């Protein structure tokens, strides 16, 4: 079978796919279960277990908040309760589930199986198996922080995140969320520093609340809600596009005449096949206690979004990893391939992950809630100003935290904010801040109710912010939304950096407030001064305009804001002692851990790009050039035949000439790409990553343009690779 037949076969298969029917959870009498009846049935949270005494629960909670050592006898009780619970649900294996620096999760399964002295099998999870594991760490990226002969790494039970069951086609596995650390306690994962940053921010935010008079506040949690974007395409096309399989993105593709200009996909009715996938996904997420809430079509054809209700940052970060994994897994059951890459298709929107962030006290106060009179809410305004100062001061670290080879295609590509980190505050807060700076009192104008000119409609309250979609970091009503995060990224990393940035400015602010209060000043006055201090200092980062415009790039440069264009420009921030002092001084990362991250991220950047280049060269040789050459052969035959009949037509020879020059250009393009790749110096990764970003990427993107142009020229029946037209419009 020729490869072109392959493409048309895929089309046929995809068009005739039936929807997958899912068995909904039922009661024994055959009636359907209601959501609350199956919500969380696949998780074990010691806090809710009847098999564990209140005293043990209390002790365990203390351990998770204070770092006290675990009591093994108590853990034994938990392990027994877990064993009973899991076995009654047909679980046979357990694993320590963790987030190494690959950005994905890792797991190693062990059976509950034991053999007693008489050779009889039984099933059990011991206390030590629950608490600690020792996976062979040598194969996980460690950035040179440990050599393989001392490859000991430990996983350690995270008491703050529930255990969960993952169902396979022929059995179930219990996953224990864990941190992953090296022999000397060095963090080899995303979670450990995240937990440190959560504790730090709790400490500083609690101090702040106590200082401003909220003395009952004992702790503060970071809450995070991550909106996840993704594409769905039929599995048949996925496997017919080696670039998607190898790299997660199409290396090139002809833009269809209609794509997203009409905005007709966004919030449009969800195609049945996609909806049936989403329904199964929501069902499985709910069974795992993951509060999936919103589902809708996104801007690009074939693109969708899922948003859960926010949770504590650590749990939310775990949940996002499970969400990404389940999106992929359940998509497969529906004969889809889910694409989580930031830019699977050139020239249409890519995918991001908006990370909504705020701070919630144990007394139930959202510290970013403006209330009905934001201009009089001094502690709210001070917190906003503190966040603005944190973003201004640590813009480079925040930029680094969202770097990745995939996200490089998206940032600044007229669909996502540029790589300049600025803050959007909206009209109301900006005006309040302006009047503060001028030493005036702010008087609210206008009504808070939207005038819709139609009496029949319920009154709508106007948000204190409008919806500026072009800002990388926006205040959206009662939270900040970090929008520059990439769709495939482990969200724990940017949350950690943001937490650390805010905690460090909170710390300084607290000292300031403390000193001023001691000198007898009133809290509100002090908070107002503090607010003015930070917004005057950080004003350059406040930008309410169009973040996608060219003007902003120029303006931002004038304001002195950094613009680290690619990942290769951003990762060196990790080696910059000045830029990372806030991380080391607060104990979020030690210098060795930062170096590890620099090495791992830079190495991954290089490897991923090299895979892309090799994949591109193969596609050109095996698909693009053969299609173009075949077309040349056809045209050649016509031209010769015409000549022999004494006929002249310029059409065939014109197309032939165009084909000829494009194929020449493409061939020379991949030759120079190969030459540059061979010349890379792998002993100097810093230099290599920059060369790739600044020299090889432009070459490969030029080559991609030629491929897309050939795709436009070559007859449809000669084009062997699935086109955007095939992949994106299926319903
Ligand atoms: P939109 O797409 O309009 O920005 P969504 O409803 O899709 O909004 O997503 C908003 C996300 O923000 C949800 O995950 C929601 O739970 C989360 N969120 C709402 N309030 C907070 C908060 N105080 N802290 C953190 N996340 C929040
Ligand atoms: Mg949304």
Enter the tokens of residue 542: 């406040």
Half-sphere exposure of 99 (CA within 13 A, CB side): 25
What is the C-alpha separation between 706 and 130, in angstroms, rounded? 55
The DSSP letter of residue 540 is G
Whole-number pLDDT of residue 185: 84
Q: Which residue has the tokens 């963090």?
A: 187
Q: Is the whole-model pTM more than 0.85?
A: yes
* Beta carbon of 478 within 6 Å of any ligand 1 atom: yes
Tens digit of pLDDT for each residue in 10-37?
888 998 898 898 989 999 999 999 999 9
Contact 165, 176 (CB under 8 A): no
Mean predicted confidence (pLDDT) in 78-91: 96
109 CA from centroid of ligand 1 (Å):
35
What is the C-alpha separation between 38 and 42, in angstroms, rounded? 8
The DSSP letter of residue 468 is -
Tens digit of pLDDT for each residue in 97-109?
999 998 889 888 9
What is the C-alpha separation between 660 and 354, in angstroms, rounded? 45
Cα-atom radius of gyration of the chain, to the nearest Å? Answer: 28
SS3 for 40-72 is CCCEECHHHCCCCCHHHHHHHHHHHHHCCCCCH
Whole-number pLDDT of residue 148: 40
Q: Which residue has the tokens 């703050």?
A: 160
Enter the tokens of residue 613: 């280049």
Contact 701, 667 (CB under 8 A): no
* Per-position DSSP letters for 619-686, written without gaps between them: HIIIIIHHHHHHHHHHHHHHHHHHHHTT---HHHHHHHHHHHHHHHHHHHHHHHHHHHHHT--TT-HH
Nearest-atom index, ligand 1, CA of 354: 4
Ligand 1: which of 201, 205, 225, 311 to mutate, judged by most atoms within 8 Å of the beta carbon? 225
Ligand 1: which of 205, 478, 479, 480 to mutate, judged by most atoms within 8 Å of the beta carbon? 479
**Which of 728, 731, 719 lies closest to 238 in space, CA to CA?**
728
Q: Give the CA distances from residue 576 to residues 29, 404, 492, in Å, rounded to whole numbers and listed in that order.
A: 64, 18, 21
Enter the tokens of residue 354: 């908006």
300 CA from centroid of ligand 1 (Å):
21
State the chain's mean pLDDT as an integer: 92
Q: How many CB atoms lie within 10 A of CB 706?
A: 23
Q: Which residues have a Cβ under 8 Å from the Cβ of 354 and sit 6 or more positions away? A: 226, 227, 481, 482, 483, 485
What is the C-alpha separation between 570 and 481, in angstroms, rounded? 21
> Residue of the nearest CA to atom 1 in ligand 1?
227
The DSSP letter of residue 100 is B
Looking at all shown ligands, the one closest to residue 483's CA atom is: 1
297 CA from centroid of ligand 2 (Å):
10
Q: Give the CA distances from residue 95 to residues 70, 80, 99, 171, 522, in Å, rounded to whole numbers and listed in that order.
A: 20, 16, 13, 14, 54
Tens digit of pLDDT for each residue in 141-167?
766 654 444 567 889 999 999 999 999
- State in Å, rounded, how far the first CA of the chain is from the last one: 27
Nearest-atom index, ligand 1, CA of 476: 4
705 CA from centroid of ligand 1 (Å):
38
* Per-position DSSP letters for 290-356, written without gaps between them: --EEEEEE-SSTTEEEEEEPPEEHHHHHHHHHHHHHHHHHHHHHTTEEEE-SS-SSTTS---BEEEE
465 CA from centroid of ligand 1 (Å):
14
What is the C-alpha separation between 471 and 67, in angstroms, rounded? 38
Greater model confidence, 337 or 440: 337
For residue 422, give the H/E element and its range. Answer: none
Looking at all shown ligands, the one closest to residue 359's CA atom is: 1
Enter the tokens of residue 672: 């120079």
Whole-number pLDDT of residue 449: 55
Looking at all shown ligands, the one closest to residue 366's CA atom is: 1
**Which of 464, 388, 481 lies closest to 426 in space, CA to CA?**
464
* Beta carbon of 309 within 6 Å of any ligand 1 atom: yes
667 CA from centroid of ligand 1 (Å):
48
Mean predicted confidence (pLDDT) in 229-243: 96
**Which of 378, 89, 356 lies closest to 226 in space, CA to CA?**
356
* Beta carbon of 229 within 6 Å of any ligand 1 atom: no
523 CA from centroid of ligand 1 (Å):
31
- Altogether, the residues listed in the chain come to a count of 731
Q: Give the CA distances from residue 76 to residues 45, 72, 179, 460, 701, in Å, rounded to whole numbers and listed in that order.
A: 15, 6, 20, 54, 57
Nearest-atom index, ligand 1, CA of 366: 23
Backbone angles phi, psi at 189, to 5 degrees: -140, -175
307 CA from centroid of ligand 2 (Å):
7
* Beta carbon of 276 within 6 Å of any ligand 1 atom: no
Any long-range contacts for 597-602 (C-beta under 8 Å, 24+ apart)? 597/101, 597/143, 598/143, 598/571, 598/572, 598/574, 599/143, 599/144, 599/145, 599/685, 600/101, 600/141, 600/142, 600/143, 601/101, 601/403, 601/567, 601/571, 601/574, 602/568, 602/571, 602/685, 602/686, 602/689
379 CA from centroid of ligand 1 (Å):
22
Kindly list the structural domains of the chain, giving each domain's residue range(s) and its CATH number in brackets, ordered by start: 39-189 (3.10.20.70), 219-226+353-450+459-584 (no CATH)
Q: Which residues of 667-680 are buried (b: 16+ CB within 10 A; e: fewer)?
A: eebbeebeebbeeb
**Which of 185, 186, 180, 107 lies closest to 144 in space, CA to CA?**
186
Contact 108, 135 (CB under 8 A): yes
Whole-number pLDDT of residue 304: 95
What is the C-alpha separation between 512 and 545, in angstroms, rounded? 32
294 CA from centroid of ligand 2 (Å):
8
Tens digit of pLDDT for each residue in 395-439?
999 999 999 999 999 987 777 778 999 999 998 899 999 999 998
* Beta carbon of 479 within 6 Å of any ligand 1 atom: yes
Nearest-atom index, ligand 1, CA of 294: 7
What is the C-alpha separation between 723 and 252, in angstroms, rounded? 9
* Beta carbon of 467 within 6 Å of any ligand 1 atom: no
**Residue 440's pLDDT band (boundaries 50, 70, 90)?**
confident
Q: Which residue has the tokens 């640590």?
A: 394
Contact 202, 219 (CB under 8 A): yes
Looking at all shown ligands, the one closest to residue 298's CA atom is: 2
Nearest-atom index, ligand 1, CA of 357: 25
Greater model confidence, 111 or 414: 111
Enter the tokens of residue 605: 């950047």
Whole-number pLDDT of residue 577: 97
Strands (E), 194-291: 220-234
For residue 376, give the H/E element and its range. Answer: none
Whole-number pLDDT of residue 436: 93
Backbone angles phi, psi at 262, to 5 degrees: -85, 0
Tens digit of pLDDT for each residue in 361-404?
999 999 999 998 888 899 999 999 999 999 999 999 999 999 99
What is the C-alpha separation between 190 and 100, in angstroms, rounded? 6
Helices 191-211, 313-333: axis angle to 10 degrees equals 140
pLDDT at 468 over 80: no
Whole-number pLDDT of residue 450: 54
Percentage, residues of the chain above pLDDT 70:
94
* Beta carbon of 227 within 6 Å of any ligand 1 atom: yes
29 CA from centroid of ligand 2 (Å):
38
Tens digit of pLDDT for each residue in 166-216?
998 899 999 999 999 988 889 999 999 999 999 999 999 999 999 999 999
Maximal CA-CA distance, the chain: 104
309 CA from centroid of ligand 2 (Å):
11
Ligand 1: which of 205, 227, 278, 481 to mutate, judged by most atoms within 8 Å of the beta carbon? 227
Look at strands 171-182 and 153-157 and give their pairing.
Answer: antiparallel
Whole-number pLDDT of residue 462: 57
Whole-number pLDDT of residue 683: 93
Whole-number pLDDT of residue 1: 45
Nearest-atom index, ligand 1, CA of 309: 16
What is the number of helices (H) and of strands (E) in the chain?
24, 18
* Beta carbon of 338 within 6 Å of any ligand 1 atom: no
Mean predicted confidence (pLDDT) in 641-670: 95
Half-sphere exposure of 708 (CA within 13 A, CB side): 18
């Amino acid at each position: 079978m020729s490869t072109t037949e392959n493409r048309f076969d895929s089309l046929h298969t995809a068009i005739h796919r039936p929807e997958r029917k899912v068995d909904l959870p039922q009661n024994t009498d055959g009636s359907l279960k209601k959501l609350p009846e199956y919500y969380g049935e696949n998780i074990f949270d010691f806090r809710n277990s009847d098999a564990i005494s209140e005293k043990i629960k209390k002790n365990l909670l203390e351990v998770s908040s204070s770092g006290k050592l675990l009591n093994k006898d108590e853990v034994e009780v938990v392990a027994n309760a877990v064993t009973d619970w899991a076995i009654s649900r047909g679980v046979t294996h357990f694993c320590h589930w963790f987030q190494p620096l690959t950005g994905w999760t890792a797991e190693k399964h062990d059976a509950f199986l034991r053999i007693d002295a008489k050779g009889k099998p039984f099933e059990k999870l011991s206390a030590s198996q629950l608490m600690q594991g020792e996976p062979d760490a040598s194969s996980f990226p460690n950035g040179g922080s440990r050599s393989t002969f001392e490859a000991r790494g430990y996983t350690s039970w995270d008491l703050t995140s529930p255990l969960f069951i993952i169902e396979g086609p022929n059995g179930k596995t219990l996953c224990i969320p864990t941190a992953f650390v090296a022999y000397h306690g060095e963090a080899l994962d995303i979670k450990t520093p995240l937990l440190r940053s959560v504790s730090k921010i709790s400490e500083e935010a609690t101090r702040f609340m106590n200082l401003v008079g909220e003395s009952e506040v004992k702790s503060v949690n970071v809450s995070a809600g991550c909106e996840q974007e993704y594409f769905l395409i039929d599995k048949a096309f996925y496997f017919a596009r080696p670039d998607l399989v190898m790299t997660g993105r199409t290396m090139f593709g002809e833009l269809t005449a209609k794509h997203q200009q009409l905005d007709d996909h966004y919030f449009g009715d969800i195609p049945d096949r996609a909806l049936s996938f989403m329904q199964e996904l929501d069902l499985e997420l709910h069974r795992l206690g993951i509060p999936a809430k919103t589902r809708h079509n996104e801007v690009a054809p074939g693109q969708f979004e899922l948003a859960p209700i926010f949770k504590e940052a650590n749990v939310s970060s775990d949940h996002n990893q499970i969400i990404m994994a389940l999106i992929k897994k359940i998509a497969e059951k529906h004969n889809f391939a889910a694409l989580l890459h930031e830019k699977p298709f050139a020239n249409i929107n890519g995918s991001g992950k908006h990370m909504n962030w705020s701070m919630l006290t144990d007394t139930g106060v959202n510290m970013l809630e403006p209330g009905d009179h934001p201009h009089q809410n001094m502690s709210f305004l001070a917190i906003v100003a503190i966040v603005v100062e944190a973003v201004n001061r640590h813009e480079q670290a925040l930029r680094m935290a969202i770097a990745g080879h995939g996200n490089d295609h998206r940032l600044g590509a007229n669909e996502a904010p540029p790589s300049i980190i600025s803050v959007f505050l909206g009209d109301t807060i900006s005006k309040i801040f302006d009047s503060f700076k001028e030493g005036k009192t702010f008087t609210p104008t206008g009504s808070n109710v939207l005038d819709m000119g139609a009496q029949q409609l319920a009154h709508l309250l106007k948000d204190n912010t409008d919806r500026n979609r072009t800002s990388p970091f926006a205040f959206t009503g009662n939270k900040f939304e970090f929008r520059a995060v990439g769709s495939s990224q482990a969200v724990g990393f940017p949350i950690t950096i943001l937490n650390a940035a805010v905690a460090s400015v909170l710390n300084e602010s607290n000292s300031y407030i403390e000193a001023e209060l001691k000198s007898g000043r009133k809290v509100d006055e002090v908070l107002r001064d503090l607010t003015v201090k930070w917004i005057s200092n950080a004003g350059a980062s406040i930008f309410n305009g169009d973040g996608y415009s060219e003007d902003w790039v120029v303006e931002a440069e004038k304001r002195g804001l950094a613009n680290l264009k690619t990942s290769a420009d951003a990762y060196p921030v990790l080696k910059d002692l000045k830029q990372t002092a806030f991380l080391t001084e607060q104990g979020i990362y030690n210098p060795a851990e930062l170096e590890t991250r620099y090495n791992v991220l830079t190495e991954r950047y290089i490897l991923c790009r090299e895979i892309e280049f090799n994949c591109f060269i193969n596609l050109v040789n095996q698909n693009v050039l053969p299609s173009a050459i075949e077309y040349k052969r056809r045209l050649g035959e016509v031209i010769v035949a015409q000549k022999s009949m004494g006929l002249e037509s310029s059409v065939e020879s014109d197309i032939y000439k165009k084909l000829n020059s494009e194929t020449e250009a493409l061939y020379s393009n991949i030759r120079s790409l190969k030459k540059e790749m061979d010349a890379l110096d792998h002993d100097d990764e810093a230099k290599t990553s920059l060369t790739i970003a600044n020299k090889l990427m432009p070459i490969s993107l030029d080559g991609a343009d030629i491929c897309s142009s050939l795709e436009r020229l070559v007859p449809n029946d000669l084009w062997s690779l699935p086109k955007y037209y095939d992949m994106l419009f299926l319903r």
